[in-house]
Amino acid sequence: MQENSENLSALSHLDDRGQAQMVDVSDKAPTVREAIAIGRVKMLAETFNAIQAGNVPKGDVLGTARLAGIMAAKQTASLIPLCHPLPLHKIEVQVTPDPQLPGYQLQAIVKTKAETGVEMEALTAVSVTALTLYDMAKALEKSIQIEAIQLVSKTGGKSDWGVGNRK
């Protein structure tokens, strides 16, 4: 049993009894940290064209989705257990039309100066942007697809990471 508890304590989110715990980051120095996440929302050309033309019953689909993503990043610690509440210094959400999908490419950039990173905040921003886009357009189409939400880079802290150097 002791060997098992030693293995469990090596996992940062588990205590020596295997119970979930928030990681103590109080000994870490605050550094500038940034994370970038992406995703996409695919839909029928007719739905895409209606959104682009502003002909959607619920109103401003893209503006509402972008604002929802920003608000979601700020609420990440309330949504995901064990996430640290962080002071966010930058939240940028981009919703870019892509007629080739057809649909939208999504990107969130989140930045802070803190003891831990903002990967979850960037991923949450993209996820909620996509969900809101779906919600705003579902009256036109139920088969909208949310795809490929992923972290593409993070900087600051112990290590930098990007899609080109996955670790």
| 135 among known catalytic residues | yes
Sheet holding 31-42, edge to edge: 88-98, 103-114, 31-42, 145-155, 161-162
From residue 92, alpha-carbon distances to 64, 107, 137 in Å are 14, 8, 22
From residue 87, alpha-carbon distances to 70, 74, 77, 154, 159 in Å are 13, 8, 11, 17, 20
Residue of 24, 27, 60, 135 marked catalytic: 135
CB 151 within 8 A of CB 35: yes
Q: Tell me: cis bond preceding 85? Omega within 30 of 0 counts.
A: no
CB 106 within 8 A of CB 39: yes
- Active-site residues, by number, are 135
